[in-house]
Amino acid sequence: MQRTSGHIGERRRLASPYPLGIVAAQALRRRRFQPPPSQLAEIMAKSVYIRTYGCQMNAYDSARMAEQLGLYDYREVDEPEAADLVILNTCHIREKAAEKLYSDLGRLRPLKREREEAGRDFVVAVAGCVAQAEGDGVAARADLVDLVIGPQAIHRLPEMLARNARARGQEIDVDFAPVEKFDRLGPERAPSAPSAFLTIQEGCDKFCTFCVVPYTRGAEVSRPIAAIEAEARSLIEGGAREITLLGQNVNAWRAPAATRGIRANRDGSWGLGQLCRHLARLDRLERLRFTTSHPRDMDDDLIDAFASVEVLMPFLHLPAQSGSDAVLAAMNRGHTSKHYLGLVARLRAARPDIALSSDFIIGFPTETVSDYRATLGLVEEVGFAAAYSFKYSRRPGTPAAAAPKQVPEDEKDRRLADLQSLIERQRKAFNARQIGRALPVLFEKAGRHAGQLVGRSPYLQSVHAEAPDSMLGRIAPVTIVGLTPNALAGRLAAA
């Protein structure tokens, strides 16, 4: 991880927030060579194993890489042994991310050696945020790595593979050019699952003092409306009925207003609320969600969208991180607990049944017992349907990592256990409140038992029910009859 801190220093300069127009113009000027599929067909390997770590943004990037490779006749396989190309799509937000990557790479080494001895290809690519943070360090430390691809460079994957096939050297691409990435990926998508992701925004300018994202994903950039709409249409065409808009700071999304009939902000821009209204007009789109939001960017229009946009589901993941104002200030969150509670009140006024989820960090440097109790107090006051909580862990190069007042590990463990049991009680109580209700469920896949399907309620709970396969991709009312540890059990309500 030592190496990371050097790179983080460089990223801080790179992450300076350019006005969006400049970024877009630069990206347009930088269109690059993309080999035609026919030219690549003979030189490229034919099966790919992609391992995805971390968040939904990474899952989205993996899906897009698989799709691009599909255009070059790559087949996805589910084990590295069966692959000619292995992509490790890494996440940097958890502790020891780089160490995990290097140990996974170590496990691929015998496979690579075996293939080389047999005179066959075995291309190893490292993608995602660890690739971005470590850059050429990955290749230097692990010589079996052929390609290093930052999250903004995934559209160059085919080009990099072709060059790699020619040169057999190591290839590194960790540029920050997300608009270009979106440009180049184009809207074409494979058949979609009933519930699909669509990235509309990347990066973060918030610089919370504990977090690596602004360094690994770069500054906030919004994807243009036309591209989002085109991708949404193609997802719907492919069978998606629910779309989840993704972004590290999804509600920081902004773009020049697109159509009449949806009131723009005073400066002529649209925010996420307006984008939701716009997408809600698409035929056959039945559900819309977005994640992850920041309390600072929750504006009136977006809150109002929960009241007025029917397809927008009543569920919001809104990380609070802490209930203590002193800790929130030390985290550089830019909001107080009062602000957070005010948002919750306004959201509930707009959509009384809205279910909320959150992220919390326990044991942030300087957190006292009373700070921690303030977090418990906030959780009690809000009542979450779900929440994630983490022990603070140092990320080299971030300001909090150098703070002198670190909380001892055993104290963090105690605080975390307490908080998690409170959150678990709230989650169970929320689930139990659904018993006897008929919830509309979007069936997404087969269940564990024959004749059973699994879908999601509006509140993002998994629901199992006996249902014919013909219900896949459809929404039907399901009466909730019981609870399993992580899901609801239901019965299809009479049609």
Cα–Cα distance measured from residue 355 to residue 442, given in angstroms and rounded to the nearest whole number = 17
Give me the least distance between CB of 400 and ligand 5AD, in Å please: 7
Can residue 298 be called a binding residue for ligand SF4 (CB under 6 A)?
no
Give me the least distance between CB of 99 and ligand 5AD, in Å please: 15
- SS3 of residue 28 by DSSP: helix
In the list ligand SF4, ligand 5AD, none, the entry touching 214 (Cβ below 5 to 8 angstroms by class) is ligand SF4
Give me the least distance between CB of 88 and ligand SF4, in Å please: 22
Q: Which part of the chain contacts ligand 5AD (CB under 6 A), choosing from 10-18, 57-65, 231-239, 386-394?
A: 386-394
Closest Cα to residue 58, out of 205, 217, 211, 254? 217
Q: Which is nearer to ligand 5AD, 193 or 211 (CB)?
A: 211
- Write the DSSP string, 415-448: HHHHHHHHHHHHHHHHHHTTTT-EEEEEEEEE-S
In the list ligand SF4, ligand 5AD, none, the entry touching 204 (Cβ below 5 to 8 angstroms by class) is ligand SF4
Can residue 459 be called a binding residue for ligand 5AD (CB under 6 A)?
no
Q: Which is nearer to ligand 5AD, 68 or 321 (CB)?
A: 321
Cβ(74)–Cβ(38) under 8 Å?
Answer: no
Can residue 294 be called a binding residue for ligand SF4 (CB under 6 A)?
yes
Q: Which is nearer to ligand SF4, 207 or 388 (CB)?
A: 207
Residue type at 288? L
- Write the DSSP string, 245-291: EE-TTGGG--EE--STTSPPPTTSEE-HHHHHHHHHTSTT--EEEEE
Site for ligand 5AD in 357-376 (CB under 6 A): 359, 361
Q: Which is nearer to ligand SF4, 102 or 388 (CB)?
A: 388
- SS3 of residue 6 by DSSP: helix
Q: Which is nearer to ligand 5AD, 54 or 224 (CB)?
A: 54
CB contact set of 444 (below 8 Å; sequence gap of 6+) = 193, 194, 195, 453, 454, 455, 456, 472, 473
In the list ligand 5AD, ligand SF4, none, the entry touching 395 (Cβ below 5 to 8 angstroms by class) is ligand 5AD
Q: Which is nearer to ligand 5AD, 62 or 274 (CB)?
A: 62
Question: Which listed residue (199, 201, 244, 248) binds ligand SF4 by CB under 6 A?
Answer: 248
Can residue 253 be called a binding residue for ligand 5AD (CB under 6 A)?
no
Q: Which is nearer to ligand 5AD, 361 or 374 (CB)?
A: 361
Binding mask 311-330 for ligand 5AD (x = CB under 6 A): --------x-x---------
In Å, what is the CA distance from 145 to each residue of 105, 148, 173? 8, 7, 13
Closest Cα to residue 478, out of 431, 434, 444, 433? 434
Cα–Cα distance measured from residue 388 to residue 360, given in angstroms and rounded to the nearest whole number = 6
Can residue 93 be called a binding residue for ligand 5AD (CB under 6 A)?
yes
Question: How many chain residues interact with ligand 5AD (CB under 6 A)?
Answer: 11
Give me the least distance between CB of 399 and ligand 5AD, in Å please: 11
Structure tokens at 55: 């968040």
Cα–Cα distance measured from residue 19 to residue 411, given in angstroms and rounded to the nearest whole number = 44
- SS3 of residue 461 by DSSP: coil
77 half-sphere exposure, CB direction, 13 A CA radius: 15
Cβ(216)–Cβ(91) under 8 Å?
Answer: no
Give me the least distance between CB of 247 and ligand SF4, in Å please: 10
Give me the least distance between CB of 317 and ligand SF4, in Å please: 11
Can residue 392 be called a binding residue for ligand 5AD (CB under 6 A)?
yes
The H-or-E segment that residue 481 falls in is strand 475-484
In Å, what is the CA distance from 167 to each residue of 49, 117, 119, 124, 163? 22, 19, 16, 15, 6
Count of H-run helices and E-run strands, the chain: 17, 21
Site for ligand SF4 in 179-238 (CB under 6 A): 204, 206-208, 211, 213-214
Binding mask 115-154 for ligand 5AD (x = CB under 6 A): ----------------------------------------
In the list ligand SF4, ligand 5AD, none, the entry touching 361 (Cβ below 5 to 8 angstroms by class) is ligand 5AD
Phi-psi region of 115 (alpha: psi -120 to 50; beta: other; left: phi over 0): alpha
Q: Which is nearer to ligand SF4, 68 or 322 (CB)?
A: 322
Cα–Cα distance measured from residue 370 to residue 415, given in angstroms and rounded to the nearest whole number = 11
Residue 404 phi/psi, 5-degree rounding, is -70, -30
Q: Please provide the distance, in angstroms rounded to a whole number, between the alpha carbons at the two ends of the chain.
A: 57
Cα–Cα distance measured from residue 248 to residue 227, given in angstroms and rounded to the nearest whole number = 18
In the list ligand 5AD, ligand SF4, none, the entry touching 490 (Cβ below 5 to 8 angstroms by class) is none
Can residue 390 be called a binding residue for ligand 5AD (CB under 6 A)?
yes
Q: Which is nearer to ligand 5AD, 102 or 207 (CB)?
A: 207
Give me the least distance between CB of 207 and ligand SF4, in Å please: 6
Cα torsion 235, 236, 242, 245: sign:
positive
Can residue 318 be called a binding residue for ligand SF4 (CB under 6 A)?
no
Binding mask 54-73 for ligand SF4 (x = CB under 6 A): --------------------
* Residue ranges binding ligand SF4 (CB under 6 A): 204, 206-208, 211, 213-214, 248-249, 294
* Residue ranges binding ligand 5AD (CB under 6 A): 93, 210-211, 319, 321, 359, 361, 390, 392-393, 395
